[in-house]
Amino acid sequence: MSTTSTASGTSRKPLVIALAVVGVVAIIVGILWFTGTAPAFLNIGSHVKHHGNHLFRGAVAAVVGIGLLVFAFIQNKKA
């Protein structure tokens, strides 16, 4: 085991943790939008309640969250 692989592995650890945390938060926000229980500060610019808009935002948040978790997994495997 060389020192360069160890050094690059430890420098990726904070990135992997941050990606995983943001991914989980995005999935939770997506679920909140799907159920319609999202807090008011997440509904910026939504003065009129449109259920289709909430479904779209929920889907986008869920896809972004899953994408971030997959990217974190890939970065963790490279280390």
Tens of pLDDT, residues 11-68: 888 999 999 999 999 999 999 988 888 777 776 665 555 556 778 888 999 999 999 9
Tally of CB atoms within 10 A around 31: 15
| Domain interval for residue 26 | 3-78
- 74 pLDDT higher than 60: yes
Q: What is the pLDDT of residue 5?
A: 52
In a 3-state reduction of DSSP, which class is residue 74?
helix
Q: What is the pLDDT of residue 54?
A: 79
Helical packing angle, 51-78 and 3-35, nearest 10°: 170
Look at the chain and report how many structural domains it folds into: 1
Distance, in Å, from the CA atom of 41 to the CA atom of 30, rounded to the nearest integer, reads 14
Amino acid in the structure at residue 59: A
Distance, in Å, from the CA atom of 4 to the CA atom of 10, rounded to the nearest integer, reads 10
